[in-house]
Structure formats: structure tokens, C-alpha cells
Amino acid sequence: DDAGGGEQAHSYEFSRRMAARLALLVLALAASADGFAAPGPLTWSRAPALRSSLSRPVYTAPLTDRVPPPMMRVGMMAGNKVSLTKKNVRENVGEVVSSLVSTLEKVLEEELDLQPLDLPVDLERAEGVVDGSKCVIENSVWQTDSFRKVHIELATFFNNAGESAGLDILHCVLFPRPEAAGPEVPMFGCDVVCVRGTVTAAIVDLSPMTREKRLSAQWADAFDEGCGGLTEFQEPREIPEFGTHIFGDRCVFVRPQGAGECQQFVKLCGEVLKMHCRETARRTKGYTPSREEVEEAHQGQVHYCEKQSENDKTRKILEGSFGVEWTDRYMSTLLFDKPEALA
């Protein structure tokens, strides 16, 4: 019994430490565009369906086909195979994160004509060690005519026995194309951190790209009409200082209380995403931004990425799990990339 109590105490302490660290991480990632630009030209993957792309088996290449950074070699095992856990994140996240990712996927499937983008294998799935437990991250990225990147990131943790540690992260962001959408189309983003079934941080936001950093009347009115009834929660959270420079005035950042509010937040995210996709379609149909509008939208995304990059909490947490080299590459090619320079 004493041994069991010791194990429980250790597990609780691990969860407490990781909850604190993940709360910092989600603030740095929340609604953050976390843009994507692969080191080389992006390649089109003609997978016909979103869900089949997300759930495809994880590719494990021979060591001769890739040379990961030193910290990533912790995942290399005999037989030239990769994986400490051999478990997909999607199959091991808790109920809230599973429900949210399914809701987001359903909306994306119904509202957008997605074309999956290939990621380098060690960015599509990454494994590292945090306080003796395994952190596994899986990323999926797509693009459309109006969005240069649609990104879903899932992360979870396993103990040394390969069992879930009860710590899950979901991150989703849509980056509009400046040359197609202009400055009126904001960036949709949502993040959730869940610790042993309890959501400790949940945020959904539409980040403005205009110089005034305010949502246009089109998006503000659509949000209020379609989503306003879902924004009241018992425990709202304070936006961090860096977020005040980039998040929109309809940002919802909360700690949901109980199953009812968790379900409400999942529904809110789905409704905001659906509204955003539809308003983007209305805005971009037959619309060609002027040079000045493209420049404004471009600068809005540059400003966003620069502000996110000023927060070093994300870097420190990733470096602690994956090392400096991999973190530099991850942040510059998947999290905080800037749009291509204008011609």
C-alpha cells in the first residue's frame, strides 16, 4: 500500500508540474497562427479525405533516409524503426480533446476544400522526454485557396510503462492567404490543455489582421449572432500581456467547469470555426485585394508571428523535451513562420 501511495504521489506531482508547464505552453500557442512553411517548397499530397489523412499509419523511415537532430535520436530503436510508444496520439487523448478534434475535423470536411500538405517525418510525429515521461506530438497541415495553412496539432504524454499520463493538448489554427483574403479575414485559433480529464485552459479566438487590430463588422456581427450565446463560462481567464497585442475582442479564454461547460466549449469552437469558414468564403468570392490590402494583411501576419516569437516560454518547454536544434526548426518551419515576402 505504501508503495502504491508513493507511486500515486509521484504521478500526482508529475501531473501538477506538467499542468503548470503546459498552461504556459498553451498561452504561447493559443490562437497563434503558428504558421507553417516547410524548409523547402511545400508538396501537395492528393489524399482525397481529411480523416484518412489524419489517421494514416505513421511512416517510419530507415535511418539512412533521415538524420534527425540529436535529441530526436532517443526514439531510434533496433531494426531501424522509430517510436518509443508506437501509439498514435489520436487514440490516446481524453474525451474532451477527442470530441473537440472530431468536431473541428467535421467542420473542416464540410466547409473547406482541403489539400493536405506533406511534413518532414520528424515534424509530423515527434517524440521527446519530459521529466522521465514521453511527450508525443502529431501534426497535420492542409491548405486551400483562401488559407495558406490549416494546422491541427495533438500532443499527449505517456509514463515509462507506456500508459497515458493524462496530459493532452490540442492546437488548431487557420492562416488566411494575404493575396486572396486581404486584411479583413482574421485568423481562427483554438487550444485546449487537459490534465487527467480536467480542462485547465481553453481558448478560441479570431485574431484580426487589420492595422487597427479589430474584427471587421462582418465577423463581429456573425460571431455575436451565431456564437454569442455560448461564450458565458463560470471561470474566465485573463489574457496574457503578449496576447493583448494579437488576440481579438471576441476572444474566449476560460477554465471550463464540469462536463457541461466542456461540451459547451467544444460546441463554441465548432460554431466559431463554421462561421469563420463561411464568412471567409463570402468575403473572398470574386474578390481581388488591392496591393495595399495585401500588404496590410501580410504585415498583420508578420506582426502576429513576431509577437508570438517574443514569448520564450514555448521555446524553453520544447527545448527541454526535444533539444535546441529540433526546437529551432520546429518553431521556424511549423509554429511561427511568416508569410512569403511580397514580390
Q: What is the pLDDT of residue 329?
A: 86
Instruction: Tell me the C-alpha distance between 23 and 202, whole Å.
Output: 10
* 89-303 maps to CATH 3.40.1500.20: yes
Give CA angle at 270 (32, 191), nearest 5°. 30
Average pLDDT for residues 198-204, to the nearest whole number? 96
Taking the domains of the chain in order of start, what are their residue ranges?
A: 89-303
Average pLDDT for residues 68-79, to the nearest whole number? 28
Is residue 18 very low, low, confident or very high in pLDDT (cuts 50, 70, 90)? Answer: low
Q: What is the pLDDT of residue 5?
A: 53
Tell me which of 13 and 230 has the higher pLDDT.
230
Average pLDDT for residues 241-252, to the nearest whole number? 92
Instruction: Tell me the C-alpha distance between 56 and 42, whole Å.
Output: 20
Residues 6+ apart with CB under 8 A from 147: 112, 174, 175, 176, 177, 280
Q: What is the DSSP string of 5-57?
A: HHHHHHHHHHHHHHHHHHHHHHHHHTT-------SS---B---S-HHHHHTSP
Q: What is the pLDDT of residue 211?
A: 95
Tell me which of 259 and 337 has the higher pLDDT.
259
pLDDT at 131 over 70: yes
Tell me which of 253 and 326 has the higher pLDDT.
253
- pLDDT single digits (tens) 302-318: 898 888 777 677 788 78
Report CA-CA distances (Å) from 133 to 20, 108, 163, 167.
Answer: 16, 33, 10, 11
Beta pairing, strands 187-195 & 164-176: antiparallel
The model carries a pTM of 0.77
**What percent of the chain is predicted at pLDDT more than 70?**
74
Q: What is the pLDDT of residue 205?
A: 96
Average pLDDT for residues 152-176, to the nearest whole number? 90
Whole-number average pLDDT of the chain: 78
pLDDT at 42 over 60: no
DSSP annotation of 312: -
Residues making up the chain, counted from first to last = 343
- pLDDT single digits (tens) 90-130: 888 999 999 999 999 999 999 999 999 988 888 999 988 87
pLDDT at 36 over 90: no
Q: What is the pLDDT of residue 312?
A: 74
Lowest-confidence pick of 8-22, 144-158, 257-271: 8-22
Is residue 149 very low, low, confident or very high in pLDDT (cuts 50, 70, 90)? Answer: very high
